Chains A and B, each alone.
Chain A
C-alpha cells in the first residue's frame, strides 16, 4: 500500500480497518474517528483518488492501492477552508477536505446526485454531495463557501 506517496509495508490482521491501520499502525492521524461506522465522514480518505470512509474499509482490501490522507493533500481547498472559516474545532476538517476533493472529481466525471446531477456545481449540489460529512460545530456555510470558491 502507498500512503501519501510513501510505500507502507504493513502486516495486519484481516479485521483491522484501514482507518485503524493508518492511525494506530502508521501514525497517520489526519483521518479522524468520529463514529467508526460510516455515519460521520471524519475518516474520509482518497483511495486511488476516490473518496471512501476508511473506517468501513478493511486495510487488507487496499493492498497495492494509493491512499491519500489530509497529510498528503496539497490543494487550494485547504487555504479556502481557512479563509472562509469552514472549520471550528477541526476534527471533521480532514474528512471534509478529502471528501470535497473526491466530490469535485465525481461531479466533473458526471456522476449524478439527488440534487439534480450534472451541469454547473451549485450550492445545493455541494450540500447534497457533502452530506455524508457531519460537522457538529456547524461550519457548513463556510465549508460550502470554500468549495464553491475553489470550484469556480
Chain B
C-alpha cells in the first residue's frame, strides 16, 4: 500500500495547475494594511448610533418601560420600545418549501411584543448622535416586569427531554439489532456519562450592522454567512420588495455559525433606521452578542460499548440530550458521527431535546459532531483501557467496510491510512501504554488519539463567469469570506478551468446583487461553489469554442469542439489556437459570459438520491500529546498532529489554516471554554472575552496537519469541505491524552485542573 500525503507545503499536484498549490490568500494584503472594511466601518453623513437595552428577567411581561431619562440625554434621537414602535411583520414559520424561513435566529418579534422569553432579550433600542451617548442612554432605560416562572437550568430540566424529531438531512435516532441485550452479554463493556457545557462562537468581530433606507430600498452592511436568506427574511419582515434590498458583506470577521442566522441586532438596526429616517449603525458590544446571538447547546450524553476480548464491538449505544430555546433553535446531531464510525452489529442511537427559557441555541462549528465525537471517542479510548489494547488497534478492528447502519458504500474512506501515517509521524510506537508512566522532568506526559468525522454536503449556487476583452476572467457569486479562503480557492479553480493565470481572475463575492451563492455553513460552501464554477466555466468554454470555430480568420475554424482545450490564456487544438483576447477581438465582443443557476429542487433531489448510494464524509486521525503538572494538574498541550482524509485539497496554505483553526477551537472546548449560565435566572454571567477563556498564543503549540489528498469520487474536483472536520474529535484526543498521563478519565468538559486534583 502506498500512502500519498502532503505537508502543508509544497503540495503534490500537477505543477501546471493552481488547484493543490499553496497560494497566498488574495485578500491577504487588504487585511494586513487595514484596507479591508467590515460592517461597522462604512460611514454615512447622517449616521446615527444604536445601542440595545436587554431584559434582566428570564421570562415574563414588560408592564412599563420608562424612557424619560434616556430621552433627556443630549444627543439622543429616539428610544424605540414595544410601546413606541410599529411592529415588524412576524417571522415566517420554518418550512422546507422556503429554506430561507430557517434563517430566523428566534421567533420573537423584537419590540413587537411585551413578552420576555430569555434573560438578555433586547427590549429597547436607543438611537443617538454618538456611540457613547447611545450606550449611556441605554443604561437609563427603566423597565418594570411581571415575572413568570422560567425553566433555565439544564441540569435540572434535562430529565424532561423528549425524543428529537428527525429532519430531512439529519436523523435523530437509529436501531440495529438489540444493543441493550448485546451490551448486557458483552464480556467487556464501558458505560459512561459525559457532559459538555454551553459554548459561544466569540468571533473577534462582534456582530454589526449599518443600515440605510432610501424609500423602500435598503442598503445593509452586514457580516453574514447567509446573504440570500437574510435578504429574503428582511424583505418579509419589513414588507418591502426583495429586489430593493442590497446586502454588502465583503469581509466577515469570523462566523463559525454565529453569523449564519438573522439575530436581533440586524433586525433592530434596520428597524431603527426605518423609524428614525437616519443611517443607523448597531455594533453590538461583546455582552450584547452573548445576549442576542445563540451559542452551542449544553449536552449530556451516554455512550455504552460492549466488546469481545479481541476488541470487536458487539454493542454501541449513544444517547444525548441537548437543549433549544422556547423561541428557537434546534436539536443537534450529536450522534451523527456514531452512525458511521464503527462496525457494531447492534446499535442504538437516540437524540433527545429539552426546551428551556433561554436564548435559542444555534450552529457552532460542527454542531453535534464536535461534542458527540468527544463522548464517543472518549468511550472508545476507555474501552481500550479495559481491554488492555492499543486505542488505534481497537479502532482498526472495528473500522467498517460499508456504512454500519445503512450498508451504503463509503465515498472513499481512508481512516486506516490516516492512522498509519499519523502513528508513524507522531512517534506513537514510543508511547508507554501504562498510565502515568511517561515523564519529562516533573511533567506527566500523555498521548491520545481520536477520530475526526464530518459529513460532506453540497447545496446550490448560481455562478456567472465572464471573460472580458482585456483577458480578465470574472467569477461572480455571492459567496461569504470569513477567512476560509473562499475567493482564493474559487479563483484557483476558475484559473485552471479556463487556462488563465491566477492574477487575471477576479472573484466578486459578498454582495446580494451577485448571483446567489450557498450559505457558508455545514462545510458546504467550497464544494457547492466549485460545482457552480466548474459548470459555468464548461458553459463558457462551449460558447467561446463556438465563437472560435466561426470567427473570421480564426485558426480554429472547422475544428471539432472536443479537440479544443482551454490553456495558456486561450483556446488551442493541437498546435493551433488563439488567445482569448484575440478571440474576443475577432468576434467583435467586449465580453462573453456564462451563467448557471442553482435550483433548490435539483439540490434536494440530488441529495436524496446520493444519500441512498453513498456516505460521504471527511475523516481524520488526531494525535495529541499533553503535559500535566503533577502539583497543580494544569494541562498543557505540547504536540499535535492531525491527518485528514479530506479529498482533494484546493489550497494547501488556506486548507492547513482551516484545519488548524478547527483544532485550536477544539483545544478551547477541551480545556477552557464554558459559557456560564446562572441556573437561577438564566443570565450569562461571563459575557466577555476576559471571563470566557479562548485559547491564546501561549496555549497553542505548533500543530502539524497532513492530508492524504485522495479525491472523493463523488464530489466536485474530489474535494470535501474542511471547515468543521478539524474540530471534531479534538476534545476527545485531549481527554484521552490526559487519561494516559494521569489515569483519570474526565468526562465533563472543559478539563480544568479542579477535575484532576
How many angstroms between the C-alpha atoms of A115 and B665 in the bound complex? 24
Per-position contact with B for A16-29: 1 when CB-CB < 8 Å, else 0?
A: 10001001100101
- Whether A52 sits at the interface, judged by CB under 8 Å, is no
Taking A83-B24, A94-B34 as contacts, is the C-beta distance between A33 and B696 under 8 angstroms? Answer: no
Which of B37-45, B185-193, B602-610 is the contact stretch? B37-45
- Whether B656 sits at the interface, judged by CB under 8 Å, is yes
Partner of B286, one of A34, A115, A136: A34
- Whether B483 sits at the interface, judged by CB under 8 Å, is yes
Name the B residues within 8 Å of A73 (CB-CB): 33-34
- Whether B694 sits at the interface, judged by CB under 8 Å, is yes
Check if A89 sits within 8 Å of B252, measured CB to CB.
Answer: yes
Check if B654 sits within 8 Å of A89, measured CB to CB.
Answer: no
- Whether A97 sits at the interface, judged by CB under 8 Å, is yes
Check if A138 sits within 8 Å of B697, measured CB to CB.
Answer: no
How many angstroms between the C-alpha atoms of A15 and B130 in the bound complex? 12
Main secondary structure of the interface of A (DSSP, over half): loop
Check if B252 sits within 8 Å of A70, measured CB to CB.
Answer: no
Name the B residues within 8 Å of A89 (CB-CB): 203-205, 251-255, 482-483
Closest to A115 in B: B698
**A51 → chain B closest CB, angstroms:** 14
**A25 → chain B closest CB, angstroms:** 9
Most chain-A Cβ atoms within 10 A of its Cβ — which of B34, B37, B484, B653? B34
Name the A residues within 8 Å of B694 (CB-CB): 134, 136
Name the B residues within 8 Å of A15 (CB-CB): 132
Check if B34 sits within 8 Å of A71, measured CB to CB.
Answer: yes
- Whether A139 sits at the interface, judged by CB under 8 Å, is yes
Partner of A29, one of B37, B130, B484, B653: B37
**B22 → chain A closest CB, angstroms:** 9
Per-position contact with B for A68-97: 1 when CB-CB < 8 Å, else 0?
A: 011101000011011101011111111001
- Whether B36 sits at the interface, judged by CB under 8 Å, is yes
Per-position contact with A for B42-58: 1 when CB-CB < 8 Å, else 0?
A: 01000001000000000
Name the B residues within 8 Å of A35 (CB-CB): 206, 286, 688-690
**A146 → chain B closest CB, angstroms:** 10
Taking A39-B690, A87-B483 as contacts, is the C-beta distance between A136 and B202 under 8 angstroms? Answer: yes
- Whether A65 sits at the interface, judged by CB under 8 Å, is no
How many angstroms between the C-alpha atoms of A141 and B661 in the bound complex? 10
**B502 → chain A closest CB, angstroms:** 15
- Whether A101 sits at the interface, judged by CB under 8 Å, is no
Partner of A91, one of B132, B205, B286, B696: B205
Name the B residues within 8 Å of A107 (CB-CB): none
Name the B residues within 8 Å of A81 (CB-CB): 28, 32
- Whether A126 sits at the interface, judged by CB under 8 Å, is yes
Per-position contact with A for B312-332: 1 when CB-CB < 8 Å, else 0?
A: 000000000000000000000
Within 8 A of B (CB), among A92-125: 92-94, 97, 115, 123
Within 8 A of A (CB), among B696-753: 696-698, 700, 702-703
Check if A131 sits within 8 Å of B698, measured CB to CB.
Answer: yes
- Whether B567 sits at the interface, judged by CB under 8 Å, is no
Check if B205 sits within 8 Å of A138, measured CB to CB.
Answer: no
Taking A27-B43, A134-B204 as contacts, is the C-beta distance between A140 and B664 under 8 angstroms? Answer: yes
Check if A134 sits within 8 Å of B41, measured CB to CB.
Answer: no
Name the A residues within 8 Å of B36 (CB-CB): 90
Within 8 A of A (CB), among B438-486: 482-485
Main secondary structure of the interface of B (DSSP, over half): loop
**A120 → chain B closest CB, angstroms:** 18
Number of A-B contacts (CB under 8 A): 173
Size category of the binding interface on chain B:
35 or more
**A23 → chain B closest CB, angstroms:** 7
Per-position contact with A for B331-342: 1 when CB-CB < 8 Å, else 0?
A: 000000000000
Name the B residues within 8 Å of A71 (CB-CB): 33-34
How many angstroms between the C-alpha atoms of A83 and B703 in the bound complex? 17
How many angstroms between the C-alpha atoms of A143 and B251 in the bound complex? 20
**B551 → chain A closest CB, angstroms:** 41
Within 8 A of A (CB), among B511-545: none
- Whether B555 sits at the interface, judged by CB under 8 Å, is no
Check if A88 sits within 8 Å of B688, measured CB to CB.
Answer: no
Name the B residues within 8 Å of A131 (CB-CB): 696-698
How many angstroms between the C-alpha atoms of A137 and B201 in the bound complex? 10
Taking A136-B204, A143-B697 as contacts, is the C-beta distance between A91 and B38 under 8 angstroms? Answer: yes
Name the A residues within 8 Å of B30 (CB-CB): 90
Taking A88-B657, A128-B697 as contacts, is the C-beta distance between A37 and B132 under 8 angstroms? Answer: no
Closest to A77 in B: B32
Closest to B29 in A: A82
Check if A138 sits within 8 Å of B31, measured CB to CB.
Answer: no
How many angstroms between the C-alpha atoms of A13 and B128 in the bound complex? 15
- Whether A133 sits at the interface, judged by CB under 8 Å, is yes
Per-position contact with B for A21-61: 1 when CB-CB < 8 Å, else 0?
A: 00110010110111111111010000000000000000000
**B217 → chain A closest CB, angstroms:** 25
**B757 → chain A closest CB, angstroms:** 23
Partner of B131, one of A20, A32, A115: A20
Partner of A138, one of B29, B32, B664: B664
Name the B residues within 8 Å of A2 (CB-CB): none
- Whether B660 sits at the interface, judged by CB under 8 Å, is yes
Check if A135 sits within 8 Å of B204, measured CB to CB.
Answer: yes
How many angstroms between the C-alpha atoms of A71 and B35 in the bound complex? 8
Name the A residues within 8 Å of B19 (CB-CB): none
Name the A residues within 8 Å of B665 (CB-CB): 136, 138
Within 8 A of A (CB), among B637-659: 653-654, 656-658
Closest to A42 in B: B204
Name the B residues within 8 Å of A136 (CB-CB): 201-204, 254, 256, 665, 694
- Whether B620 sits at the interface, judged by CB under 8 Å, is no
Partner of B31, one of A16, A23, A33, A87: A87
Partner of A32, one of B27, B205, B664, B689: B205
How many angstroms between the C-alpha atoms of A135 and B132 in the bound complex? 27
How many angstroms between the C-alpha atoms of A90 and B122 in the bound complex? 29
Check if A87 sits within 8 Å of B28, measured CB to CB.
Answer: yes
**B248 → chain A closest CB, angstroms:** 15
Within 8 A of A (CB), among B477-515: 482-485
Name the B residues within 8 Å of A40 (CB-CB): 204, 689
Interfacial residues, chain A to chain B (CB-CB below 8 A): 13, 15-16, 20, 23-24, 27, 29-30, 32-40, 42, 69-71, 73, 78-79, 81-83, 85, 87-94, 97, 115, 123, 126-128, 130-144
Could you show 17 A-B contacts with beta carbons less than 8 Å apart?
A36-B286, A70-B34, A71-B33, A79-B32, A82-B32, A87-B31, A87-B483, A88-B657, A88-B658, A89-B483, A126-B697, A127-B700, A128-B697, A136-B694, A138-B664, A139-B657, A140-B695
Give 15 A-B pairs besides A37-B688, A131-B698, A138-B695 with Cβ atoms closer than 8 angstroms. A24-B49, A32-B253, A34-B205, A35-B690, A40-B689, A70-B33, A88-B657, A89-B204, A89-B255, A90-B27, A93-B31, A131-B697, A133-B697, A138-B662, A144-B702
Interfacial residues, chain B to chain A (CB-CB below 8 A): 24-25, 27-34, 36-38, 40-41, 43, 49, 130-132, 201-206, 251-256, 283, 285-286, 482-485, 653-654, 656-658, 660-665, 688-690, 694-698, 700, 702-703
Closest 8 CB pairs of A and B: A30-B34, A88-B483, A138-B664, A91-B253, A90-B31, A89-B483, A82-B28, A138-B661
